[in-house]
Amino acid sequence: MSDVLMEVKNLKKYFNTKQGMLHAVDDVSFKIFKGETLGLVGESGCGKSTTGRAILRLHEPTSGEVYFNSENILNYNKTQMKAMRKKLQIVFQDPYSSLNPRLSVYDLIADSLYVNKDVVSKNEIGEQISYVMDLVGLEKRLVNSFPHELDGGRRQRIGIARALILNPEFIVLDEPVSALDVSIQAQVLNLLDELQNELGLTYMFVAHNLSVVKHISDRIAVMYLGKIVELTDYKNIFADPLHPYTQALLSAIPIPKYGLERKRIVLEGDVPSPINPPPGCVFYGRCRERMDICKEVSPKLDVKKENHFVACHLYNGIDQN
Ligand SMILES: Nc1ncnc2c1ncn2[C@@H]1O[C@H](COP(=O)(O)OP(=O)(O)OP(=O)(O)O)[C@@H](O)[C@H]1O
Ligand code: SF4
Ligand SMILES: [Mg+2]
């Protein structure tokens, strides 16, 4: 078994809202192995970004544990966390709104060094910027350009360069290609893949939809209303989806590679509100296979087959230990 880089245990992030306690991330546990990409997939509002931010402590978790190289970083004080931040980076969905429009490419990338107080000599900064621009495929002539002068792909390359200049080990990629033209999406995905191999990076890749993550993920976690409902190798997710929600998600995309004819499963009803959610299975209201127990008892994410975790009462009694 590969080395574990990140281990998240019983992570919760609740937001106190006027309407009540919003359970954005509700008791999730998972591991991320060194050098892998864990895809995190689910519909809008299911808690993907909040999970990514909470494990980096950009949102302070409500409770839980987050181990990075076996140390619980939730116990770190400010100084320890500052040093750790460099190793844990994030790339956002919309490179346009996440980049200060008044800064040039040079300053945008250098800014990342200043924020982290890693300031070295001007010459060295110049060299480092030149190095990361090369890494992410940004032409040197663009060093004094501003974000509005560049296309979406180049803007996202700046976002990636800002993360890379700190020499991170782990990057949360929060829908990094969703805002890009389809033709450019593949280029950025390829770049991320190459960078991972070259620099030995570990990724958590957040996406709405399974088709984006399938090309880049080693394993995929499916999220629904603040919970992970299935987690396994990307091949299993496509060839042998166990959770009724994963099956419905998959039925929306044709996958001729696996020679499977999928019947479209149309989910009835809407995703319930994450404010004061009822007990029992989060998918209960929309599940075609629900049973009495599902209404009362929340199913735990347990291993049901080799490397295949699922949270669903349909599989009670077949735990693989
Ligand atoms: N700062 C906040 N204050 C209150 N509620 C929040 C806050 N941030 C997120 N939420 C709520 O938490 C839930 C999860 O949001 P989150 O942004 O993590 O979802 P997501 O899966 O990333 O969605 P999307 O695919 O739209 O980006 C949503 O109900 C959202 O409204
Ligand atoms: S636990 Fe029950 S309601 Fe939930 S997904 Fe499984 S069968 Fe459906
Ligand atoms: Mg999001």
Residue nearest to atom 28 of ligand 1 (CA): 45
Establish whether residue 183 lines the binding site of ligand 1, counting it when its CB lies within 6 angstroms of any ligand atom: no
For the chain, give the number of residues.
Answer: 321
Helix (H/G/I), strand (E/B), else coil: 113: helix
- pTM for the full predicted model: 0.94
Give just the sign of the alpha carbon dihedral 219, 225, 226, 230: negative
Q: Tokens standing for 259? A: 């020679």
Domain ranges of the chain: 4-87+168-263
Distance in Å, CA 318 to ligand 3 centroid: 34
pLDDT < 70 regions, the chain:
1, 116-119, 254-262, 318-321
Longest Cα–Cα distance of the chain, Å, equals: 68
Comparing CA positions, the residue from 162, 173, 228 lying closest to residue 196 is: 173
Summarised one tens digit per residue, pLDDT across range 211-267 is 888 889 999 999 999 999 999 999 999 999 999 999 999 987 765 555 555 677 878
Residue nearest to atom 1 of ligand 2 (CA): 312
CA distance 299 to 312: 5
Residue 153 near residue 180, CB atoms below 8 Å: yes
Summarised one tens digit per residue, pLDDT across range 121-132 is 888 889 999 999
Distance in Å, CA 43 to ligand 2 centroid: 18
Residue 39 CB contacts under 8 Å (≥ 6 apart), including other chains? 205, 206, 207, 213, 214, 216, 217, 219, 220, 221, 234
Establish whether residue 281 lines the binding site of ligand 2, counting it when its CB lies within 6 angstroms of any ligand atom: yes
Nearest atom (ligand 1) to Cα of 51 = 18
Comparing CA positions, the residue from 221, 220, 163, 238 lying closest to residue 196 is: 163
Nearest atom (ligand 2) to Cα of 288 = 8
Summarised one tens digit per residue, pLDDT across range 273-284 is 999 888 899 999
Assigned architecture for domain 4-87+168-263:
3-Layer(aba) Sandwich (3.40)
Nearest atom (ligand 2) to Cα of 229 = 5
Terminus-to-terminus CA distance in the chain, angstroms? 16
